[in-house]
Structure 1
Amino acid sequence: MDNIRPIRTEADYEWALAEVAPYFDREPEPGSPESDRFLVLVDLISAYEEKHYPMPDPDPIDMIRHVMEQKGYAQKDFADLLGSKSRASEILKRKRPLTMNQAYKLNREWGVPAEALIRPYHTGDAA
């Protein structure tokens, strides 16, 4: 794997991004040396980003919205899961907190990670 090196600096990071960019336009054949190089570069970039640009954990409402977006669910789907339109609306508007039973349903039926649903978060008039 030609010239692959650890990413220690921002310059190394920029180099790795430039090296990996062409692979997104022209995907390498799985199992090929180019594919292996691509995967190693992506792992190095990911490790550097996790250390230097950590993403804050989403609060439960942000996580629910993310899952809804990813799975193509609408607020109606959330209401169907909870059995109440008004309850779904209040939760998404942060006017009412999730109950453990609702968190359990979200975990079991939609696959939302339980640890993301039990984090404390702000409810009230602010949205």
Structure 2
Amino acid sequence: MDIQPIKTESDYQRTLSQIEDLMSAQLNTEQGDKLDVLVTLVEAYETKQFPLDLPDPIEAIKFQMERLGLSAKHLEPMIGRRNRVYEVLNRRRALTLPMIRKLHAELGIPAEALIKPIKVAA
């Protein structure tokens, strides 16, 4: 099995081409093992070269509200009274750990996105 690290864009493209050629490889064969290793290399390269930035916590909340058709009233069990919800949505109050836990559990927003610092409005 001749496998090289992915260091450049041309290495990356070459490896993608090799993966395409191996897509029909059977599991637990030399070709299947090679495919598995190449995919792992590509994932590592892509993670390093194309990192995904987490969304702003407030934008993540607003996106999920829109997606699920929720209003500020629906956030009260997770954040607190309606005025507290508006303070958070208008960046006048930061999220607390209990709020983050509830928003994550109830709305499925990744906790990693919610713990990202927000710029609180003055």
Aligned to 2:14: 15
SS for the counterpart of 1:44 is helix
Closer/same/farther in 2, CA of residues 99 and 42 from structure 1, 3 Å limit? same
TM-score for both structures, normalised by structure 2: 0.59
Give 1:12 deviation, angstroms.
0.4
Aligned to 1:107: 104
Give 1:45 deviation, angstroms.
1.0
Bigger CA radius of gyration: 2
Deviations 1:9-33 (A, max 9, x none): 211011112222356xx5544x333
Q: Is it true that 1:36 corresponds to 2:33 in the alignment?
A: yes
Q: Is it true that 1:57 corresponds to 2:44 in the alignment?
A: no
Contact 1:79 1:87 survives alignment (8 Å): no
Deviations 1:27-69 (A, max 9, x none): 544x333432222112111211222232323322454467x4x
Which runs of 5 or more residues in structure 1 are unaligned? none
Contact 2:54 2:112 survives alignment (8 Å): no
- For residues 18 and 61 of structure 2, the distance between their equivalents in structure 1, rounded to whole angstroms, comes to 35
Give 1:90 deviation, angstroms.
7.7
Deviations 1:66-123 (A, max 9, x none): 7x4xxx74436x6486488897788667676544432120233455443431221246
TM-score for both structures, normalised by structure 1: 0.58
Q: Percent identity?
A: 37
Contact 1:103 1:114 survives alignment (8 Å): yes
Aligned-CA RMSD value: 3.9
Give 1:7 deviation, angstroms.
0.7
Q: What is the number of residues matched between the two proteins?
A: 118
